[in-house]
């Protein structure tokens, strides 16, 4: 996943995904969107 152009507040850098939000609620909504997208593509995460 090189970019996430249609996911506002999510940027990629090398093998990192940076999710930002202007408040905790927005951050959690964006994080959920990113995680759902990762799941849709059957990617796996190592935390």
pLDDT in the model for residue 3: 57
Containing structural domain, residue 19: 1-47
> Residue 47 — very low, low, confident or very high, per pLDDT cuts 50/70/90?
confident
Alpha-carbon distance 11 to 19, whole Å? 7
**pTM of the prediction?**
0.79
Q: What is the pLDDT of residues 1-14, one digit of tens each?
A: 455 678 889 988 88
Q: CA-CA distance, 21 to 43, in Å (whole number)?
A: 23
Q: What is the pLDDT of residue 2?
A: 53
More confident residue, 17 or 3: 17
pLDDT tens digit sequence for 21-40:
999 999 999 999 999 998 98
What total number of domains does the chain contain? 1
């Amino acid at each position: 996943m090189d970019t996430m152009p249609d996911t506002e507040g999510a940027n990629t850098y090398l093998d990192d995904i940076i999710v930002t939000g202007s408040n905790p609620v927005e951050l959690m909504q964006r994080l959920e969107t990113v995680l759902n997208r990762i799941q849709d593509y059957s990617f796996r995460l190592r935390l």
